[in-house]
Each structure stands twice: as C-alpha cells, then as structure tokens.
Amino acid sequence: MTDEPRIGAGRRTVRILIAVLAVLVLLVVVFLVWASTVFQGEREASLVAWEDPAISIKETGNSWVMSPTEDASGDGLVFIPGARVTPSAYFAKLSGLVAETGATVVITKPTLNLAFFDTRPLSAFTDGVEGVDDWYVGGHSLGGVKACMLAADPGTDPEPAGLVLFGSYCASDLSGGDLPVLSLSGSEDGLSTPTKIEGAAHLLPASAEFVEIEGASHASFGDYGPQPGDGTATATDDEVREAITAAWAEFTE
C-alpha cells in the first residue's frame, strides 16, 4: 500500500511531461507553418527585371544573383529580404541598381524565411560572384536588422563597404564607427514608421544619410502586395524604384 501513492505520482508526472511535450511539438509545427507561409512576389513586377537585357539573373543554392550584362561598376549589395517575403519580390525595385548603375545585387534566401535564423556568414553569398570590388550589405525590414548585425560584427568577411537600410533600422550600435550608412524610408510606412527610424538614428554613425521616399509604404520596397499594419502607399512602383536607384547612385559615387 505504501508504494501506491508513489506509483500514482509517477504516472501523473509522466502524463504532465507528455502533455508539455505535445504542446511544444504543436508550437513548433505552428511556427514552421507560419514561417513557410510567405508573401509571394508579384509575377508581373519580377518580369521587369527578367526581361531587361541589361540584367542577368541567376539562382544559386542560397541566393538570387542579379548582375549587369555589361559595364559593371565594381559595387555589390548583399540584400536580405524582410520576414517571410519571397526573394523574387525585390527583383523589380532593385533592378535599377543593376541596369542603371552597374551594381551586382545578391538577394539571399534566409533560413526559414526569417533573417534572424540565418547564421551563414556574408562570404556564403559573395564567394563565387565575380566583378565586385566593394560589397555593401543591406536589407528590408527584419532583413535590415540582420544586415546591421553583420555590419557591426568585426569578423564579417568581406568587410562591408557600407550599410543600406530599406524601411528598417538597427538594433545594433554602430554609432562609434565610421561605416557609411544609407537609410531609405517611406513617409507612409506603418511598420518601420518615420518616428521609429528617427528614434533609432542614434545607433548609426553621425555621417549616416537619411532619405525619406515621399508616398512609399513599408511594402513599397518590394512587390508582394499589402502587409498587415502598413500604411497606404501613394507613390507608384516606378517612382519608388527610381528613388531607390537615385539614392544608391549618390551614396556609392
């Protein structure tokens, strides 16, 4: 009789452990389903880049590489997509960097579609890409936060020539260095709002350049449709693309 309470308590402990494990498994499954449900790129927009004779697009195992078919500038940008946004959604908006300034753009394929889970070094995306002398790192939204982390890491190889934020801001402190930084924002961004970007500006070097694109929303930096919580864009896709290209050209000249 004296062993029965202990046996009963042991069974209850096992049942509790099984229940906890089941909840954890369920949470993992829900997270994986959520992470794999991406904002799909708009086909018509991506065709702008695919059909441009000045641009060559190639897919690798971990990225998409957009390179100029001639007159490469020697500049390259490793671009990290926003959370759960398919990489091809950025083809059109970044196409001007390639076609008009001769830059090479490498758009990464983040682990689980979330930049924070991507532990690969910058070199994983730059190795094997020819014609680039200076590599910049940047990204949209959460991708920009990850780009800040890479820029802040003294061990990052290749050493970034600069940082470009697209509707994003840093959580890492870069204020003590002299890294060139370009912050592109949208006046109608409902997620990385102008107020949030201004509030995080102290984390950037004093020389950081800020360009607010009038009428651009958070989703204006890509082509993947509306995003919950975002503002309403009044700028056209062409206007945003041209503003991005012009800001990049001035920043890298």
The 10s digit of each residue's pLDDT in 6-59 is 666 667 777 777 767 666 665 555 544 545 566 788 989 999 999 999 999 999
Q: Kindly state the greatest CA–CA separation across the chain.
A: 88
pLDDT digits (tens, 9 = 90+) for 175-224: 999 999 999 999 999 999 999 999 999 999 999 999 999 999 999 999 99
Residue 163, strand partner residues:
137, 181
Average pLDDT for 160-188 = 97
Query: Residue 13 has which token pair?
Result: 């402990």
Same domain, residue pair 61 and 166? yes
Same domain, residue pair 45 and 17? no
Domain count for the chain: 2
pLDDT at 3: 63
Q: Helix, strand or coil for residue 189? A: coil
Same domain, residue pair 237 and 171? yes
Same domain, residue pair 9 and 121? no
Same domain, residue pair 109 and 170? yes
For residue 22, the enclosing domain spans: 1-37
Same domain, residue pair 43 and 27? no
Same domain, residue pair 134 and 244? yes
Within 8 A by CB and 6+ apart from 121, the residues are 156, 157
Same domain, residue pair 20 and 130? no
Same domain, residue pair 9 and 70? no
Residue length of the chain: 253
In 3D, which of 161, 180, 183 has the Cα closest to residue 170? Answer: 183
- State how far the Cα of 88 lies from the Cα of 39, in Å rounded to an integer: 10
Q: Helix, strand or coil for residue 46? A: helix
Same domain, residue pair 70 and 181? yes
Q: What is the CATH number of the domain that holds 247?
A: 3.40.50.1820
Same domain, residue pair 71 and 14? no
Sequence-ordered alpha helix ranges (H) in 37-89: 43-50
**Residue 18 near residue 199, CB atoms below 8 Å:** no
Same domain, residue pair 4 and 85? no
Query: Residue 100 has which token pair?
Result: 């008009």
pLDDT at 91: 98
Residue 58, strand partner residues:
65
**Residue 53 near residue 74, CB atoms below 8 Å:** no
